[in-house]
Amino acid sequence: MTPKYLQVEKDGEIVLITINRPEKLNALNLEVMNEFISILDNLEKDSSKVIIITGAGQKAFSAGADIEYMSKIGSSEAEKYALKGHEVLNKIEKLEKPVIAAINGYALGGGCELGLACDIRFASPNAQLGQPEVTIGICPGWGGTQRLLRIIGPARAKDLIFTGRKIGAEEALVMGLVNKIIPNENLISESKAYAKNIIKNSSFAVGISKMLVNKGMDANLDTGLKLEIYSWSLCFSSKEREERMRAFVEKNN
């Protein structure tokens, strides 16, 4: 079935997913999230190597969850909505392929949390990021309280969450919340160029490395190092590793 709200474009081994609800600032309603789940399930199995996520239009990456919907529901429905959000973002985080967020405007609430679940975040100069949930009487509910502190540290995470303030691209860069600021007109092309730098490497090794970094954030150092040793040795069972090492030796002899 053709997605209604998500545009999927393939450029070789790169997949660009565009949230296409510009009239709603690309807010993430249940339909959008269900489309994400379906698309991500397919991407787990296909030949693509890097995923880029962005928003349609010039104003927003994603302004977050559907507040109009949330204003009409109670605790039970809210829990189901949160579970759906977590399902989408956990899939992005655990996908073996690297995922780049091309943040082209507002990334607020659930939109910021979507960016946090990605591996690399590039922002346009007009980007604004934040977790403003407390201003409408709730806490972040799609991983914001957990991923944000792991990326920028607890003190800065508390600052953004407690105040609900929005920050611009420059402050986000200083905080380490985004990796780079790119002019809006070049955001997708430079994201694709960056993706090609990843693609030229071993996709198996990149996937293993992504898993190790993600697991390492939740493990003590000793456990993380043991997992690294196991994973490093596992790479030696890869035929691609054998071919790449042979080519390297032949080139340098």
Catalytic residues: 113, 133
Strand partners, 4: none
Question: What Cα–Cα distance (Å) separates residue 215 from each residue in 94, 127, 136, 205?
Answer: 10, 29, 33, 15
Neighbouring CB atoms inside 10 A of 46's CB total 11
| Pairing label, strands 6-11, 14-19 | antiparallel
